[in-house]
Chains A and B, each alone.
Chain A
Protein backbone atom coordinates (compact mmCIF):
# COMPACT_ATOMS: atom_id res chain seq x y z
CA UNK A 1 0.00 0.00 0.00
CA UNK A 2 1.51 3.31 -1.04
CA UNK A 3 0.77 6.60 0.60
CA UNK A 4 -0.04 8.57 -2.51
CA UNK A 5 -2.42 5.91 -3.81
CA UNK A 6 -4.58 5.94 -0.72
CA UNK A 7 -7.61 8.12 -0.54
CA UNK A 8 -9.32 8.04 2.82
CA UNK A 9 -12.86 8.32 1.52
CA UNK A 10 -16.15 8.43 3.33
CA UNK A 11 -16.49 4.71 3.81
CA UNK A 12 -13.29 4.51 5.84
CA UNK A 13 -14.44 7.46 7.93
CA UNK A 14 -17.61 5.51 8.68
CA UNK A 15 -15.71 2.42 9.74
CA UNK A 16 -13.24 4.48 11.73
CA UNK A 17 -16.01 5.48 14.08
CA UNK A 18 -17.21 1.88 14.42
CA UNK A 19 -14.15 -0.37 14.34
CA UNK A 20 -10.55 0.53 13.52
CA UNK A 21 -9.74 -3.00 12.46
CA UNK A 22 -12.39 -2.77 9.80
CA UNK A 23 -10.63 0.31 8.42
CA UNK A 24 -7.47 -1.70 7.84
CA UNK A 25 -9.28 -4.65 6.26
CA UNK A 26 -11.33 -2.45 3.95
CA UNK A 27 -8.27 -0.48 2.88
CA UNK A 28 -6.60 -3.76 1.92
CA UNK A 29 -9.62 -4.77 -0.15
CA UNK A 30 -10.30 -7.61 2.22
CA UNK A 31 -14.03 -7.19 1.84
CA UNK A 32 -16.47 -8.78 4.28
CA UNK A 33 -18.43 -11.97 3.67
CA UNK A 34 -20.80 -11.26 0.81
CA UNK A 35 -23.24 -14.00 1.90
CA UNK A 36 -23.80 -12.37 5.27
CA UNK A 37 -27.48 -11.59 5.81
CA UNK A 38 -26.83 -7.94 6.66
CA UNK A 39 -24.61 -7.45 3.63
CA UNK A 40 -27.28 -8.96 1.38
CA UNK A 41 -29.93 -6.80 3.04
CA UNK A 42 -27.80 -3.68 2.64
CA UNK A 43 -27.36 -4.38 -1.05
CA UNK A 44 -31.09 -4.89 -1.41
CA UNK A 45 -31.94 -1.65 0.38
CA UNK A 46 -29.51 0.32 -1.70
CA UNK A 47 -31.20 -1.02 -4.82
CA UNK A 48 -34.77 -0.58 -3.66
CA UNK A 49 -34.90 2.68 -1.72
CA UNK A 50 -35.39 6.18 -3.12
CA UNK A 51 -35.77 4.93 -6.65
CA UNK A 52 -37.15 8.19 -7.89
CA UNK A 53 -34.01 10.23 -7.26
CA UNK A 54 -30.77 9.98 -9.14
CA UNK A 55 -28.55 7.55 -7.31
CA UNK A 56 -24.93 6.52 -6.91
CA UNK A 57 -23.46 9.69 -8.34
CA UNK A 58 -19.69 9.59 -8.47
CA UNK A 59 -17.64 12.68 -7.77
CA UNK A 60 -13.90 12.05 -7.77
CA UNK A 61 -13.49 9.01 -5.56
CA UNK A 62 -16.72 9.71 -3.69
CA UNK A 63 -20.00 8.03 -4.44
CA UNK A 64 -23.20 9.63 -3.31
CA UNK A 65 -26.34 7.64 -2.78
CA UNK A 66 -28.47 10.61 -3.73
CA UNK A 67 -27.79 14.03 -5.22
CA UNK A 68 -30.48 16.68 -5.58
CA UNK A 69 -30.87 20.42 -5.89
CA UNK A 70 -31.84 22.23 -2.71
CA UNK A 71 -33.03 25.79 -2.10
CA UNK A 72 -29.52 27.11 -1.65
CA UNK A 73 -27.09 24.74 -3.24
CA UNK A 74 -26.62 21.01 -3.60
CA UNK A 75 -27.99 18.37 -1.25
CA UNK A 76 -26.19 15.04 -1.03
CA UNK A 77 -27.94 12.16 0.64
CA UNK A 78 -26.55 9.10 2.34
CA UNK A 79 -28.86 6.14 2.93
CA UNK A 80 -28.42 4.01 6.04
CA UNK A 81 -30.24 0.91 7.12
CA UNK A 82 -30.61 2.08 10.70
CA UNK A 83 -29.66 5.01 12.89
CA UNK A 84 -27.79 2.76 15.29
CA UNK A 85 -24.44 4.11 14.13
CA UNK A 86 -25.57 7.66 13.69
CA UNK A 87 -22.26 9.17 14.75
CA UNK A 88 -20.42 7.20 12.08
CA UNK A 89 -22.99 8.13 9.48
CA UNK A 90 -22.79 11.81 10.44
CA UNK A 91 -19.03 11.87 10.12
CA UNK A 92 -19.11 10.08 6.80
CA UNK A 93 -21.49 12.58 5.33
CA UNK A 94 -19.60 15.49 6.89
CA UNK A 95 -16.48 14.16 5.18
CA UNK A 96 -18.25 14.27 1.81
CA UNK A 97 -19.30 17.84 2.49
CA UNK A 98 -15.71 18.74 3.33
CA UNK A 99 -14.46 17.23 0.08
CA UNK A 100 -17.07 19.14 -1.86
CA UNK A 101 -16.18 22.31 0.05
CA UNK A 102 -12.50 21.88 -0.85
CA UNK A 103 -13.59 21.65 -4.46
CA UNK A 104 -15.56 24.86 -4.12
CA UNK A 105 -18.98 23.27 -4.03
CA UNK A 106 -21.49 24.43 -1.45
CA UNK A 107 -23.61 21.59 -0.21
CA UNK A 108 -25.69 20.32 2.64
CA UNK A 109 -26.03 16.74 3.73
CA UNK A 110 -29.08 14.62 4.35
CA UNK A 111 -28.83 11.46 6.38
CA UNK A 112 -31.64 9.11 5.44
CA UNK A 113 -33.02 6.19 7.38
CA UNK A 114 -35.74 4.85 5.09
CA UNK A 115 -36.80 2.06 7.41
CA UNK A 116 -37.29 4.49 10.24
CA UNK A 117 -38.76 7.13 7.92
CA UNK A 118 -36.33 9.67 9.32
CA UNK A 119 -33.81 12.13 8.05
CA UNK A 120 -31.22 14.40 9.54
CA UNK A 121 -29.60 17.49 8.08
CA UNK A 122 -25.83 17.85 8.34
CA UNK A 123 -24.00 21.11 7.82
CA UNK A 124 -20.26 21.61 7.79
CA UNK A 125 -18.73 23.71 10.57
CA UNK A 126 -15.31 24.46 12.05
CA UNK A 127 -15.60 21.78 14.76
CA UNK A 128 -16.48 19.09 12.29
CA UNK A 129 -13.59 20.05 10.04
CA UNK A 130 -11.04 19.67 12.85
CA UNK A 131 -12.52 16.35 13.87
CA UNK A 132 -12.41 15.09 10.30
CA UNK A 133 -8.80 16.15 9.80
CA UNK A 134 -7.74 14.25 12.90
CA UNK A 135 -9.69 11.19 11.89
CA UNK A 136 -8.09 11.30 8.45
CA UNK A 137 -4.62 11.43 9.96
CA UNK A 138 -5.29 8.47 12.21
CA UNK A 139 -6.87 6.44 9.43
CA UNK A 140 -3.72 6.86 7.34
CA UNK A 141 -1.66 5.63 10.28
CA UNK A 142 -3.89 2.57 10.65
CA UNK A 143 -3.82 1.56 7.03
CA UNK A 144 -0.08 1.93 6.70
CA UNK A 145 0.51 -0.42 9.56
CA UNK A 146 1.74 -3.81 8.25
CA UNK A 147 -0.84 -5.77 10.27
CA UNK A 148 -4.42 -4.91 11.17
CA UNK A 149 -5.29 -3.66 14.68
CA UNK A 150 -6.16 -6.61 16.94
CA UNK A 151 -9.71 -7.85 16.96
CA UNK A 152 -11.68 -6.50 19.88
CA UNK A 153 -15.11 -7.74 20.84
CA UNK A 154 -17.58 -4.89 20.62
CA UNK A 155 -21.34 -4.68 20.22
CA UNK A 156 -21.00 -4.37 16.49
CA UNK A 157 -19.34 -7.80 16.19
CA UNK A 158 -22.74 -9.47 16.59
CA UNK A 159 -23.90 -8.26 13.25
CA UNK A 160 -20.60 -7.72 11.49
CA UNK A 161 -19.85 -9.63 8.30
CA UNK A 162 -16.18 -9.69 9.32
CA UNK A 163 -16.94 -11.50 12.59
CA UNK A 164 -16.00 -14.90 11.26
CA UNK A 165 -12.74 -13.63 9.84
CA UNK A 166 -11.90 -11.91 13.12
CA UNK A 167 -12.89 -14.74 15.44
CA UNK A 168 -12.13 -17.86 13.37
Chain B
Protein backbone atom coordinates (compact mmCIF):
# COMPACT_ATOMS: atom_id res chain seq x y z
CA UNK B 1 0.00 0.00 0.00
CA UNK B 2 1.22 3.48 -0.83
CA UNK B 3 2.30 5.74 1.99
CA UNK B 4 0.79 8.85 3.44
CA UNK B 5 3.35 11.61 3.89
CA UNK B 6 2.81 14.11 6.70
CA UNK B 7 4.64 17.42 6.48
CA UNK B 8 4.95 19.51 9.63
CA UNK B 9 8.05 21.53 8.82
CA UNK B 10 8.09 24.72 6.81
CA UNK B 11 9.78 24.46 3.47
CA UNK B 12 9.54 23.97 -0.25
CA UNK B 13 8.05 21.02 -2.09
CA UNK B 14 9.67 20.50 -5.46
CA UNK B 15 9.88 18.17 -8.37
CA UNK B 16 13.45 17.05 -8.71
CA UNK B 17 14.09 14.91 -11.77
CA UNK B 18 11.57 12.14 -11.60
CA UNK B 19 10.86 12.33 -7.94
CA UNK B 20 9.78 14.68 -5.16
CA UNK B 21 11.99 16.71 -2.91
CA UNK B 22 11.23 18.55 0.29
CA UNK B 23 13.62 21.32 1.23
CA UNK B 24 13.75 23.10 4.58
CA UNK B 25 16.29 25.54 5.97
CA UNK B 26 18.04 22.81 7.93
CA UNK B 27 17.90 19.85 5.58
CA UNK B 28 16.26 18.34 2.54
CA UNK B 29 14.81 15.00 1.73
CA UNK B 30 13.79 12.99 -1.31
CA UNK B 31 10.26 11.60 -1.25
CA UNK B 32 10.10 8.56 -3.59
CA UNK B 33 7.14 9.46 -5.77
CA UNK B 34 5.97 5.96 -6.71
CA UNK B 35 5.50 5.10 -3.09
CA UNK B 36 3.27 8.03 -2.14
CA UNK B 37 -0.49 7.91 -2.09
CA UNK B 38 -1.21 11.27 -0.52
CA UNK B 39 0.46 14.18 1.22
CA UNK B 40 -0.97 15.91 4.28
CA UNK B 41 0.49 19.36 4.76
CA UNK B 42 0.45 20.96 8.22
CA UNK B 43 3.47 23.22 7.89
CA UNK B 44 3.98 26.33 5.80
CA UNK B 45 4.86 24.93 2.42
CA UNK B 46 5.49 26.57 -0.92
CA UNK B 47 5.19 24.74 -4.20
CA UNK B 48 5.00 25.54 -7.88
CA UNK B 49 3.07 24.52 -10.94
CA UNK B 50 5.74 22.08 -12.07
CA UNK B 51 5.31 20.28 -8.78
CA UNK B 52 1.52 20.21 -9.08
CA UNK B 53 1.74 18.94 -12.64
CA UNK B 54 3.94 16.11 -11.49
CA UNK B 55 1.82 15.03 -8.53
CA UNK B 56 -1.25 15.29 -10.75
CA UNK B 57 0.36 12.95 -13.26
CA UNK B 58 1.29 10.59 -10.42
CA UNK B 59 -2.28 10.82 -9.05
CA UNK B 60 -1.24 12.07 -5.63
CA UNK B 61 -3.71 14.12 -3.61
CA UNK B 62 -2.49 16.92 -1.34
CA UNK B 63 -4.56 17.89 1.70
CA UNK B 64 -3.87 21.18 3.49
CA UNK B 65 -4.42 21.97 7.14
CA UNK B 66 -4.27 25.37 8.77
CA UNK B 67 -1.95 26.31 11.61
CA UNK B 68 -4.77 25.40 14.00
CA UNK B 69 -5.13 21.96 12.53
CA UNK B 70 -8.30 22.68 10.55
CA UNK B 71 -8.80 21.12 7.17
CA UNK B 72 -8.44 23.84 4.55
CA UNK B 73 -8.74 22.05 1.25
CA UNK B 74 -7.24 19.58 -1.15
CA UNK B 75 -5.39 19.59 -4.40
CA UNK B 76 -7.54 16.98 -6.09
CA UNK B 77 -5.82 16.12 -9.38
CA UNK B 78 -7.92 15.70 -12.49
CA UNK B 79 -10.04 12.56 -12.38
CA UNK B 80 -8.17 9.59 -13.76
CA UNK B 81 -10.96 7.04 -13.52
CA UNK B 82 -13.92 8.09 -15.55
CA UNK B 83 -17.12 6.19 -15.95
CA UNK B 84 -19.98 8.24 -17.35
CA UNK B 85 -22.24 5.39 -16.32
CA UNK B 86 -21.36 5.69 -12.62
CA UNK B 87 -21.67 9.49 -12.62
CA UNK B 88 -25.14 9.27 -14.13
CA UNK B 89 -26.16 6.67 -11.57
CA UNK B 90 -24.73 8.76 -8.76
CA UNK B 91 -26.72 11.79 -9.89
CA UNK B 92 -29.85 9.74 -10.45
CA UNK B 93 -29.65 8.45 -6.89
CA UNK B 94 -29.30 11.99 -5.63
CA UNK B 95 -32.10 13.54 -7.67
CA UNK B 96 -34.62 10.83 -6.88
CA UNK B 97 -35.83 11.69 -3.35
CA UNK B 98 -36.61 8.11 -2.43
CA UNK B 99 -33.27 6.78 -3.62
CA UNK B 100 -31.42 9.60 -1.90
CA UNK B 101 -33.10 9.06 1.46
CA UNK B 102 -32.34 5.35 1.29
CA UNK B 103 -28.60 5.97 1.05
CA UNK B 104 -28.64 8.83 3.57
CA UNK B 105 -30.45 6.56 6.00
CA UNK B 106 -27.95 3.75 5.48
CA UNK B 107 -25.06 6.08 6.28
CA UNK B 108 -26.70 7.19 9.53
CA UNK B 109 -27.58 3.60 10.30
CA UNK B 110 -23.97 2.56 9.81
CA UNK B 111 -22.77 5.37 12.06
CA UNK B 112 -25.34 4.46 14.74
CA UNK B 113 -24.50 0.76 14.65
CA UNK B 114 -20.81 1.45 14.97
CA UNK B 115 -21.47 3.84 17.86
CA UNK B 116 -23.36 1.00 19.47
CA UNK B 117 -20.43 -1.36 18.97
CA UNK B 118 -18.05 1.08 20.65
CA UNK B 119 -20.46 1.49 23.56
CA UNK B 120 -20.86 -2.26 23.87
CA UNK B 121 -17.10 -2.74 23.96
CA UNK B 122 -16.75 -0.25 26.81
CA UNK B 123 -19.79 -1.62 28.56
CA UNK B 124 -17.99 -4.96 28.76
CA UNK B 125 -14.92 -3.29 30.19
CA UNK B 126 -16.31 -0.65 32.51
CA UNK B 127 -20.07 -1.28 32.64
CA UNK B 128 -22.80 1.26 33.23
CA UNK B 129 -23.56 1.94 29.57
CA UNK B 130 -26.53 -0.40 29.12
CA UNK B 131 -29.11 2.36 29.21
CA UNK B 132 -27.29 4.43 26.60
CA UNK B 133 -26.97 1.38 24.37
CA UNK B 134 -30.72 0.89 24.62
CA UNK B 135 -31.37 4.52 23.83
CA UNK B 136 -29.10 4.38 20.81
CA UNK B 137 -30.76 1.19 19.60
CA UNK B 138 -34.19 2.73 20.00
CA UNK B 139 -33.24 5.82 17.99
CA UNK B 140 -31.61 3.63 15.35
CA UNK B 141 -34.90 1.77 15.04
CA UNK B 142 -36.64 5.06 14.32
CA UNK B 143 -34.46 5.64 11.25
CA UNK B 144 -36.70 3.38 9.17
CA UNK B 145 -39.59 5.84 9.40
CA UNK B 146 -37.45 8.87 8.72
CA UNK B 147 -38.16 10.16 5.25
CA UNK B 148 -36.43 13.48 5.29
CA UNK B 149 -32.71 14.22 5.22
CA UNK B 150 -32.86 17.03 7.78
CA UNK B 151 -34.81 14.79 10.17
CA UNK B 152 -32.18 12.11 9.64
CA UNK B 153 -29.48 14.60 10.55
CA UNK B 154 -31.40 15.54 13.68
CA UNK B 155 -31.84 11.90 14.65
CA UNK B 156 -28.15 11.30 14.16
CA UNK B 157 -27.49 14.34 16.35
CA UNK B 158 -29.62 12.81 19.10
CA UNK B 159 -27.77 9.52 18.86
CA UNK B 160 -24.45 11.32 19.13
CA UNK B 161 -25.69 13.29 22.14
CA UNK B 162 -26.35 10.05 24.02
CA UNK B 163 -23.00 8.74 22.92
CA UNK B 164 -20.98 11.83 23.81
CA UNK B 165 -22.58 11.95 27.26
CA UNK B 166 -20.71 8.72 28.03
CA UNK B 167 -17.31 9.97 26.95
CA UNK B 168 -16.35 11.05 30.48
CA UNK B 169 -17.15 7.57 31.75
CA UNK B 170 -15.09 5.98 28.98
CA UNK B 171 -12.05 8.24 29.22
CA UNK B 172 -12.25 8.55 33.02
CA UNK B 173 -9.84 11.47 32.90
CA UNK B 174 -10.83 14.78 34.57
CA UNK B 175 -8.42 16.68 32.32
CA UNK B 176 -10.48 15.67 29.31
CA UNK B 177 -14.04 16.44 30.36
CA UNK B 178 -16.41 16.41 27.42
CA UNK B 179 -19.05 18.96 28.55
CA UNK B 180 -20.61 19.55 25.15
CA UNK B 181 -19.65 19.23 21.51
CA UNK B 182 -18.01 22.43 20.37
CA UNK B 183 -16.29 23.16 17.09
CA UNK B 184 -14.84 26.02 15.09
CA UNK B 185 -13.10 26.45 17.43
CA UNK B 186 -13.36 23.52 19.80
CA UNK B 187 -13.45 24.82 23.35
CA UNK B 188 -11.80 22.01 25.28
CA UNK B 189 -9.21 19.31 24.82
CA UNK B 190 -11.39 16.38 23.90
CA UNK B 191 -13.39 18.42 21.41
CA UNK B 192 -10.13 19.48 19.84
CA UNK B 193 -9.11 15.84 19.46
CA UNK B 194 -12.48 14.93 17.92
CA UNK B 195 -12.38 17.82 15.45
CA UNK B 196 -8.83 17.05 14.41
CA UNK B 197 -9.56 13.34 14.01
CA UNK B 198 -12.73 13.92 12.05
CA UNK B 199 -11.07 16.25 9.58
CA UNK B 200 -8.31 13.69 8.99
CA UNK B 201 -11.02 11.07 8.47
CA UNK B 202 -12.64 13.24 5.78
CA UNK B 203 -9.38 13.48 3.86
CA UNK B 204 -8.69 9.75 4.10
CA UNK B 205 -12.10 8.95 2.66
CA UNK B 206 -11.60 11.60 -0.03
CA UNK B 207 -8.31 9.97 -1.03
CA UNK B 208 -10.02 6.61 -1.28
CA UNK B 209 -12.88 8.06 -3.34
CA UNK B 210 -10.26 9.37 -5.76
CA UNK B 211 -9.29 5.76 -6.43
CA UNK B 212 -12.81 4.80 -7.46
CA UNK B 213 -15.18 5.97 -10.17
CA UNK B 214 -17.30 7.88 -7.68
CA UNK B 215 -17.50 11.65 -7.74
CA UNK B 216 -16.82 13.11 -4.27
CA UNK B 217 -19.05 16.10 -5.00
CA UNK B 218 -22.24 14.05 -4.94
CA UNK B 219 -23.18 13.08 -1.38
CA UNK B 220 -26.53 11.88 -0.07
CA UNK B 221 -26.74 12.68 3.62
CA UNK B 222 -24.67 15.82 3.24
CA UNK B 223 -26.24 18.05 0.65
CA UNK B 224 -24.36 18.19 -2.60
CA UNK B 225 -25.00 21.69 -3.82
CA UNK B 226 -23.26 23.94 -1.38
CA UNK B 227 -19.82 22.52 -0.86
CA UNK B 228 -17.05 21.08 -2.88
CA UNK B 229 -16.95 17.57 -1.48
CA UNK B 230 -19.70 15.79 0.39
CA UNK B 231 -19.60 12.07 -0.37
CA UNK B 232 -16.50 11.76 1.82
CA UNK B 233 -18.44 13.28 4.73
CA UNK B 234 -21.18 10.68 4.27
CA UNK B 235 -18.83 7.70 4.29
CA UNK B 236 -16.73 9.14 7.13
CA UNK B 237 -19.80 9.05 9.42
CA UNK B 238 -19.63 5.25 9.41
CA UNK B 239 -15.96 5.09 10.33
CA UNK B 240 -15.59 7.96 12.80
CA UNK B 241 -16.74 5.99 15.88
CA UNK B 242 -14.64 2.91 15.20
CA UNK B 243 -11.49 4.63 13.97
CA UNK B 244 -11.25 8.18 15.30
CA UNK B 245 -13.05 7.83 18.63
CA UNK B 246 -11.26 4.59 19.41
CA UNK B 247 -7.90 6.17 18.67
CA UNK B 248 -8.78 9.05 21.02
CA UNK B 249 -9.83 6.67 23.80
CA UNK B 250 -6.67 4.63 23.49
CA UNK B 251 -4.40 7.71 23.34
CA UNK B 252 -5.96 9.01 26.54
CA UNK B 253 -5.99 5.65 28.30
CA UNK B 254 -2.29 5.20 27.58
CA UNK B 255 -1.68 8.85 28.51
CA UNK B 256 0.12 9.33 25.22
CA UNK B 257 -1.46 12.76 24.96
CA UNK B 258 -1.93 15.00 28.00
CA UNK B 259 -3.19 18.54 28.58
CA UNK B 260 0.38 19.77 28.21
CA UNK B 261 0.01 18.95 24.50
CA UNK B 262 -2.55 21.71 23.96
CA UNK B 263 -2.51 25.45 23.90
CA UNK B 264 -5.14 28.15 23.91
CA UNK B 265 -5.72 30.48 21.04
CA UNK B 266 -8.34 33.16 20.39
CA UNK B 267 -11.33 31.50 22.03
CA UNK B 268 -10.46 27.88 21.51
CA UNK B 269 -7.97 25.12 22.21
CA UNK B 270 -5.50 23.71 19.73
CA UNK B 271 -3.13 20.73 19.67
CA UNK B 272 0.60 21.23 19.69
CA UNK B 273 2.64 19.60 16.96
CA UNK B 274 3.70 16.68 19.14
CA UNK B 275 0.06 15.76 19.82
CA UNK B 276 -0.85 15.92 16.14
CA UNK B 277 2.07 13.66 15.26
CA UNK B 278 1.20 11.11 17.93
CA UNK B 279 -2.44 11.14 16.87
CA UNK B 280 -1.55 10.58 13.23
CA UNK B 281 0.88 7.80 14.07
CA UNK B 282 -1.72 5.99 16.15
CA UNK B 283 -4.36 6.42 13.44
CA UNK B 284 -1.92 5.21 10.79
CA UNK B 285 -1.29 2.05 12.80
CA UNK B 286 -5.02 1.53 13.18
CA UNK B 287 -5.62 1.98 9.44
CA UNK B 288 -2.96 -0.64 8.69
CA UNK B 289 -4.45 -3.16 11.10
CA UNK B 290 -5.93 -6.04 9.13
CA UNK B 291 -8.95 -8.19 9.69
CA UNK B 292 -10.03 -11.29 7.83
CA UNK B 293 -12.75 -10.47 5.32
CA UNK B 294 -15.18 -13.34 4.97
CA UNK B 295 -16.46 -13.01 1.42
CA UNK B 296 -13.20 -11.76 -0.10
CA UNK B 297 -11.22 -14.40 1.74
CA UNK B 298 -8.21 -12.12 2.24
CA UNK B 299 -6.84 -10.12 5.13
CA UNK B 300 -7.87 -6.52 4.58
CA UNK B 301 -6.74 -3.39 6.41
CA UNK B 302 -9.15 -0.84 7.87
CA UNK B 303 -8.00 1.54 5.17
CA UNK B 304 -9.02 -1.04 2.60
CA UNK B 305 -12.38 -1.50 4.28
CA UNK B 306 -13.06 2.15 3.51
CA UNK B 307 -12.38 1.40 -0.15
CA UNK B 308 -14.62 -1.67 0.01
CA UNK B 309 -17.38 0.56 1.36
CA UNK B 310 -17.06 2.66 -1.78
CA UNK B 311 -17.17 -0.44 -3.95
CA UNK B 312 -20.37 -1.49 -2.17
CA UNK B 313 -21.80 1.92 -2.93
CA UNK B 314 -20.81 1.56 -6.60
CA UNK B 315 -22.60 -1.77 -6.72
CA UNK B 316 -25.68 -0.21 -5.18
CA UNK B 317 -25.62 2.55 -7.78
CA UNK B 318 -25.24 -0.03 -10.55
CA UNK B 319 -28.44 -1.60 -9.29
CA UNK B 320 -26.67 -4.78 -8.30
CA UNK B 321 -26.67 -5.22 -4.53
CA UNK B 322 -28.46 -3.02 -2.04
CA UNK B 323 -25.97 -1.06 0.07
CA UNK B 324 -25.45 -2.20 3.66
CA UNK B 325 -23.01 -0.20 5.78
CA UNK B 326 -19.98 -1.78 7.40
CA UNK B 327 -20.47 -2.60 11.06
CA UNK B 328 -17.48 -3.52 13.22
CA UNK B 329 -17.84 -6.89 14.92
CA UNK B 330 -16.06 -6.08 18.15
Please indicate the chain B residues that have their CB under 8 angstroms from the CB of A146 in the complex: 319
Please indicate the chain A residues that have their CB under 8 angstroms from the CB of B72 in the complex: none
Q: A30-B85, A146-B319, A148-B320 are in contact. Are A167 and B295 (CB under 8 A)?
A: yes
Within 8 Å by CB of B85, from A28, A163, A168, lies: A28
Interface size classification for chain B: 20 to 34
Please indicate the chain A residues that have their CB under 8 angstroms from the CB of B2 in the complex: 35
Interface size classification for chain A: 10 to 19
Please indicate the chain B residues that have their CB under 8 angstroms from the CB of A165 in the complex: 311, 314-315
A75 to B84, CA, bound (A): 36
Counting CB contacts under 8 A, is A116 at the interface? no
Smallest CB gap from B86: residue in A: A30
Please indicate the chain B residues that have their CB under 8 angstroms from the CB of A30 in the complex: 83, 85-86, 213, 314, 318
Find residues 132-151 in chain A having any chain B CB closer than 8 Å to their own CB.
Answer: 146-148
A34 to B307, CA, bound (A): 13
Please indicate the chain B residues that have their CB under 8 angstroms from the CB of A164 in the complex: 296, 300, 304, 307-308, 311
Query: Which residues of B line the A interface, CB within 8 A?
Result: 1-2, 80-86, 211, 213, 293, 295-298, 300, 304, 307-309, 311-312, 314-315, 318-320
Please indicate the chain B residues that have their CB under 8 angstroms from the CB of A29 in the complex: 82-86, 213
Smallest CB gap from B305: residue in A: A168
How many contacts A-B (CB < 8 Å)?
55
Find residues 1-33 in chain A having any chain B CB closer than 8 Å to their own CB.
Answer: 1, 28-31, 33
Query: Which residues of A line the B interface, CB within 8 A?
Result: 1, 28-31, 33-35, 146-148, 163-165, 167-168
Main SS at interface, chain A: loop
Please indicate the chain B residues that have their CB under 8 angstroms from the CB of A168 in the complex: 295-296, 308-309, 311-312, 315
Within 8 Å by CB of B211, from A28, A34, A147, A167, lies: A34
